[in-house]
Copies of this chain bind each other. A is one copy, B any other.
Amino acid sequence: MSDPTAAALAYWAAAEARDWSAFSALLHDDVVYELPQTRERISGRTRYLQFNVEYPGDWHLTVDRVVGAGRQAATWCHFTADGEPAEAVTFFELDEAGLVTSITEFWPAAYEPPAGRAHLMQRS
């Protein structure tokens, strides 16, 4: 598979389906998963699969946005985990065969807006 958008969508479809065989088949042996917010990193397909299989809670996702070109893709997903909503933004890098070599993920949490800008903002 050489379409990075299709690869990213297949990755999330396999995760949501808990189809770990399909999920694994998308990943390079030496895939690296990074979480800049916690400075955590997982190296290798085996460990990264284990991380996903072991991930606690009843989580589900839908893909809100996907953009891909060349050997890169980015997605924005809505998650629920035990009913609690969360957002995930993920950057993928692929090798020439279309296998995912790098996944960098952010989990941006809600926060209160700073003072001084309400005159420009609507808030839902």
Interface of A, secondary structure class, is: mixed
Copies of this chain in its oligomeric complex? 2
Contact A116 B56 (CB under 8 A): yes
Interface size class of A (residues with CB under 8 A): 35 or more
- Which B residues touch A35, using CB under 8 A? 113
- Whether A112 contacts B65 in the complex (CB less than 8 A), given A51-B117, A120-B50, comes out as no
- Whether A106 contacts B121 in the complex (CB less than 8 A), given A67-B69, A113-B38, comes out as no
Contact B67 A91 (CB under 8 A): yes
Q: What is the CA–CA distance of A114 and B69 in the complex, to the nearest angstrom?
A: 33
- Which B residues touch A41, using CB under 8 A? 121-124
Contact B87 A121 (CB under 8 A): no
- Which B residues touch A39, using CB under 8 A? 110, 123-124
How close is A114's CB to chain B, nearest CB, in angstroms?
A: 9
Other A-B pairs beyond A5-B69, A43-B122, A69-B69, 16, CB < 8 Å: A36-B87, A36-B108, A41-B123, A41-B124, A47-B120, A54-B117, A67-B67, A67-B68, A67-B70, A67-B72, A67-B74, A76-B104, A87-B106, A89-B106, A108-B108, A108-B109
